[in-house]
Amino acid sequence: MSAALLGSVPRRGRRRAVLTVVTVLTPLGVYCAAGALAVAALTHTLRYGLVEPRAALAFGVLIALGELVRGGALPGEREPAPLGAAGALAYTLLGQNAGQPTGHGVFQTVAVVLVGSLAGAAPHAVLSRGRGLEHLARRLIAVGFAAVCCRPLYGAAGLRERFGEGPGHAAVLLLLPALTALCDAVLTALLLRARTRHPYGPLLRDELRALPHLGSAVCATGVVIALGVAVAGLWALPVCCVPLLVTQLSFRRYAAVRATYRQTIASLARATEIAGHTPEGHARRVAELSLAVGRELGLSGTELTVLEYAALMHDIGQLSLVDPVPKGATALLPVVEQRRIALLGGAVVRQTGVPAAVAVVVERQADPYREQPLPARIVRVVNAYDDLAGECASASGPLSALERLRLGTGYDYQPEVVESLARVLSRGGPAPGGTG
86-121 tens-digit pLDDT: 999 999 988 888 888 888 899 999 999 999 999 988
Q: What pLDDT was estimated at residue 382?
A: 92
Nearest to 347 by CA among 334, 332, 327, 362: 362
- Number of Cβ within 10 Å of residue 61's Cβ equals 15
CA distances from 283 to 4, 212, 292, 398 (A): 26, 34, 14, 17
How far from the centroid of its chain's Cα atoms is residue 99's Cα? 40
- In sequence order, the β-bridge partners of residue 96 are 101
Residues ≥6 apart with Cβ < 8 Å to 246: none
What is the helix, strand, coil percentage profile of the chain, to 5?
A: 75, 0, 20
| Alpha helices (H) in 106-155, listed in sequence order | 106-126, 132-155
349 backbone φψ class: left, alpha, beta (φ>0; ψ -120 to 50): alpha
- pLDDT, tens digit, for every residue of 196-248? 777 777 788 888 887 887 788 888 888 889 889 988 899 888 888 887 778 77
- pLDDT, tens digit, for every residue of 317-353? 888 776 777 776 777 788 888 888 888 888 888 888 7
Tell me the backbone φ, ψ of residue 272, rounded to 5 degrees.
Answer: -70, -30
Tell me the backbone φ, ψ of residue 200, rounded to 5 degrees.
Answer: -70, -40
- What is the DSSP secondary structure assignment for residue 279, as one 8-state letter? -
How long is the chain? 436
- pLDDT, tens digit, for every residue of 354-383? 888 899 999 998 888 888 899 999 999 999
Q: What pLDDT was estimated at residue 77?
A: 53
- pLDDT, tens digit, for every residue of 272-327? 888 777 888 888 899 999 998 998 888 877 888 899 999 999 888 888 776 777 77
Nearest to 66 by CA among 247, 195, 196, 193: 247
Domain extents in the chain = 2-258, 270-426
Q: What percent of the chain has pLDDT over 70?
A: 82
For the cut 90, the answer to whether the pLDDT of residue 66 exceeds it is no
Q: What pLDDT was estimated at residue 369?
A: 85
Least confident segment among 153-167, 173-187, 238-252, 259-273: 153-167
**Mean pLDDT on 77-90:** 79
Q: Which CATH superfamily is domain 270-426 in?
A: Hypothetical protein af1432 (1.10.3210.10)
